[in-house]
Amino acid sequence: SQTIHQWPATLVQPVGSPLSLECTVEGTSNPNLYWYRQAAGRGLQLLFYSVGIGQISSEVPQNLSASRPQDRQFILSSKKLLLSDSGFYLCAWSTRLLGQGFSTEAFFGQGTRLTVV
């Protein structure tokens, strides 16, 4: 069965420090991968999505970046965190039908609660 791992669960970082959040998926190949952020009491904001290795689409201009060095690994990074980067970060994957731009249901990780102080 497919599983998604996201870590760490919680993180407290000072302003200006770097960030690296990692997400890995098991039990599937060539998934679509997504990073979302949810500020307190707000909806889910799509940050990045990827349809293949090295293919990253950015949805919101910001000081965050994403990379997909392997098929089932998705990394969210920042060189210098801002207070506004605080939030609940979620990684998700979905099945991608080869040769078609179609995405079935998405499966989410347990999330990382980031507090920038």
Partner 1 sequence: DAKTTQPNSMESNEEEPVHLPCNHSTISGTDYIHWYRQLPSQGPEYVIHGLTSNVNNRMASLAIAEDRKSSTLILHRATLRDAAVYYCILGGFGNEKLTFGTGTRLTIIP
Angle at 111 between CA 109 and CA 115, to 5 degrees: 165
Cα–Cα nearest to 75, from 94, 50, 95 = 50
Rounded CA separation 10/35 (Å): 16
Least distance from partner 1 to the Cβ atom of residue 28, Å: 15
Each residue 83-112 as x (binds partner 1 by CB under 8 A) or -, in order, gives -----x-x-x-x-x---xxxxxxxxxxxx-
Q: Is 7 in the site for partner 1 (CB under 8 A)?
A: no
Least distance from partner 1 to the Cβ atom of residue 98, Å: 13
Applying the rule CB under 8 A, the residues between 8 and 47 that interact with partner 1 are 32, 34, 36, 42-46
What per-residue string of b and e applies to 68-98 under the rule 16 or more CB within 10 Å gives b? beeebebbbebeebeeebbbebbbbbbbbee
Least distance from partner 1 to the Cβ atom of residue 16, Å: 28
Residues found near partner 1 in the complex (CB under 8 A):
32, 34, 36, 42-46, 49, 51, 57, 59, 88, 90, 92, 94, 96, 100-111
